[in-house]
Amino acid sequence: MKLFFPRAYIDGEIRTDVLVTADESGTITAVECGTPPAPEPAAPVPAASVPAAPGTSPGFPTGTSSEDIHVFTGTAFPGAHNAHSHAFHRLLRGRTHDDGGTFWTWRQEMYAAAASLTPQLYREVATAVFGEMIEAGYTSVGEFHYVHHAPDGTAYPDHAMERALAEAAATAGIRLVLLDTCYLQGSIGKELAPEQVRFGDGSIDGYMRRHASLREALADFSPLVTVGAAIHSVRAVAAEDLPRFAELDGPLHIHLSEQPAENEQALAAYGKTPTRLLAEAGLLSPRLSAVHATHLSDDDIRLLGDAGVHIVMCPTTEADLADGIGPARALADAGAVICLGSDQHVVLDSMRELQALEAGERLASGQRGRFSPAELITALTQSGASALGLRSGIAVGCPADIVTVEHASVRTAGSRGEQVVMSATAADISAVIVAGRVRRSRPKGAEQDSLGRLYARFFKEE
C-alpha cells in the first residue's frame, strides 16, 4: 500500500510531498520526500466498516491493491499512543459532577460501574470506547485492566473479560496492549473490600499463574494485541510482593502517587515513599511506566529520572479529579520520559491531552513554552509507544500507524507547521491509519467549513 501526504512530520520537521509505502503486515518499507503523487491517484480508502468476528484474529481489510496510491490532506503525524486507559470509566462521563466530592467519593461511583460489567457488556462498552479513541487520533491503547473475575471473585472461563477487550480492539481496529493488573489488597495491610473482590487473584502466585496463561489465551489476536503487566499501586500490592514483577518480560505500569493519601499510607506503613519502595524492589528502569506521578518528593523525582522511567501524565483526568498538576518539566529535566494517557476518558481527544499537559505547566510555573510543540508531539507518539513496548514514527521499520491533522479548519487555520497540534482538536483529525489500513477518513474538505475558509484567506502556507 502506498500513502501520499502533502506534509508529514518526520524527524522533528515538516517535510513535503511524502510517499509512504507499507507491506502487507502494515510495516513501513519506504519513505520518499519531495515526491508528488501519480496523476489521478486512487481516492482515500474509507474506514473499514466490517468488524472482525468475535474471537478471530484482528486483521484489517485494505480495500485496495498494493499498487494504489491513496492521497490524504492535512499534515501527517505518527499515530497517538494512549498509554493509560480504563475503558469502563467512560461510563462515568458527565455523571459525577453534581455533588462535588473528592477522588475517594468518585471512586465509589467507579466501583458501581465496575460491578455492572459482564464479559458481553464489557465487550460492547470497550468497542465503543476504542472506536472513540480511533476518532480522537489514537492508534494504540494501553488498557490498565483489573476487572478480571465475576463479582464474587469466581474466575470466568478462558479469560472471558480479557478476551472481551481483545475482541473490542479487533472490532474497533486499534492496537491494544493489555496491561494485566495485579490487585491483591484493598489498601496497605487490608483485605479487598467486597466491591474489589473481582479484581483480585488471591496471592501474588495466583496472579503470576493467571498472567502466564493469559498470554497464551490471547495469542490468536497477535500481533495487534499484546500483553503487558501492571501493579495497581503500592496500596494494592504489598511491598514484599513487588520484586516478583522483575520476573516478567515486557512493559510494566503502576499508578504512582496520584493522591497525597497514598504517600501518607506508604510512609506510615513502610517509612518510605511509593517511589522509594519501587526502587528497593528493583523495578525502576525504562521498562516501568509510572502513571500520574503527581505528588512527588525531590528524591522521588531524582530516582525516577536517573532510572529513565516513563511517566504517563493524564492531564484531563487529573484536572477532573482535582488530583493536582504533576511536576512534568522537573521529571523530564531529571531524565524521565513523559507520555500521555486519557485514563477515565472524561474527554477522548489526543490533542486536548497534549495541550492540557502544556497548559498545566504554564499555570503551575507562570511561564509559557515549558514544553515545545516538538516535545509534546514526542510525548504523544514516540514516548507513548515506548511505554507500551511499541515503535512509532514515519520511518522504515515502524508500523504504518499514522494520523492526519487538517490545517484549514475554523480551529487550525493559520497554524504554523507542527504548531497545529496546539490549535487542533479531535475534530481536526481527518484520517487514522493503523497497520497500513485506514480506520477513519473524511472526504476532502469536510472540515474546511465556511469560517475556516474565510480565515485561511489571511494566511499563506509557511
Catalytic amino acids?
A: 292, 343
How many CB atoms within 10 Å of residue 152? 8
C-alpha cell at 388: 507500551
Q: What are phi and psi of 89, to 5 degrees?
A: -65, -20
Nearest-angstrom CA–CA distance, 271 and 348:
38
Taking Cα atoms as reference points, which of 448, 431, 422, 359 lies closest to residue 173? Answer: 431
In single-letter form, the type of residue at position 410 comes to: V
Q: Say which residue the cell 509512504 belongs to.
A: 20
Q: Is the Cα torsion angle 29, 32, 36, 39 positive or negative in sign?
A: negative
* CA 6 from centroid of its chain's CA atoms: 27
Grouping H, G, I as helix, E, B as strand and the rest as coil, residue 400 is: coil
**E strands in 293-443:** 310-313, 337-340, 402-405, 429-434, 437-441
Q: At what angle do helices 204-217 and 160-172 cross, to 10 degrees?
A: 40
* Angular region, 294: left φ>0, alpha ψ -120 to 50, beta rest: alpha
Q: Residue 106 belongs to what H/E stretch?
A: helix 103-115
The three-class DSSP label of residue 147 is coil
Residues in the chain: 462
Sign of the torsion angle spanned by Cα atoms 93, 99, 103, 104? negative
Which of helix, strand or coil describes residue 89?
A: helix
Cell of 108: 465509589
